[in-house]
Amino acid sequence: MRKYILIISSLFLFSCEEEDIQQNTSMGLLINEFLASNDACCPDQSNDYDDWVELYNDTQDPIDIGGMYFTDTPDDDNPYQIPTTDPSKTTIPSKGYLLIWCDDDQEQGPLHVSKKLSKGGESIILLSQDKITVIDSYTYPEQTTDISMGRDPDNVTNWIFFENPTPGSKN
Ligand SMILES: [Ca+2]
Ligand SMILES: [Ca+2]
């Protein structure tokens, strides 16, 4: 109830700002594919069969995701900040792909986040360095082990299942 009142008052007082915050800016950096239940699909560099999210940089310039935030929960008070310590690993080249491992194995590198993906359905949310602006997000339904879900290459606004996941490359 308190939150509801807060939102109402925010709408009256800060209508412009509120719109800006809630707008999905996309910015050409997309969540492109994910696997929420990995049994035999594809291991990370530590040979773990972990959940992953594939990002795609649909811009003309490289994008460093270091400092951006990742979460599986809308309105998360504690999203995971991707480290800024190694831009060589967190930078996506123009028209390139990058995998985020959702394994809670942060010691395995800057692309291993503390949030795991639920097979039963959840959200995937990438936030800007300001911790507020949604760069891209997707809320997915129940998943099947080793079958990924991603953007249809023929219509990128449409999400479909892939029996043959393509982590790190075109869907
Ligand atoms: Ca791992
Ligand atoms: Ca892919």
Tens digit of pLDDT for each residue in 77-127? 999 999 999 999 999 999 999 999 999 999 999 999 999 999 999 999 999
Tens digit of pLDDT for each residue in 24-52? 445 699 999 999 999 999 999 999 999 99
Q: What is the mean pLDDT of the chain?
A: 89
The CATH fold of domain 25-162: Immunoglobulin-like (2.60.40)
Which of the ligands is closest to the CA of residue 43? 1
Q: Which residues sit with Cβ closer than 5 angstroms to ligand 2, an ion?
A: 33, 54, 166, 171
Say what the pLDDT of residue 16 is: 40
d(CA 44, CA 92): 18
Beta strands in the chain (DSSP E): 29-35, 51-57, 63-64, 69-71, 80-81, 91-92, 97-102, 112-113, 122-127, 134-140, 148-152, 155-162
Which of the ligands is closest to the CA of residue 116? 1
Tens digit of pLDDT for each residue in 9-26? 444 444 444 333 333 445
* pLDDT at position 5 over 60: no
Confidence of residue 4 (pLDDT cuts 50, 70, 90): low
Ligand 2 mean position to 52 CA, how many Å? 11
Average the pLDDT over 41-66 and give the result. 97
* Domain residue ranges of the chain, discontinuous segments joined by +: 25-162
d(CA 142, CA 113): 21
Tens digit of pLDDT for each residue in 141-166? 999 999 999 999 999 999 999 999 99
Say what the pLDDT of residue 142 is: 98
Ligand 2 mean position to 103 CA, how many Å? 19
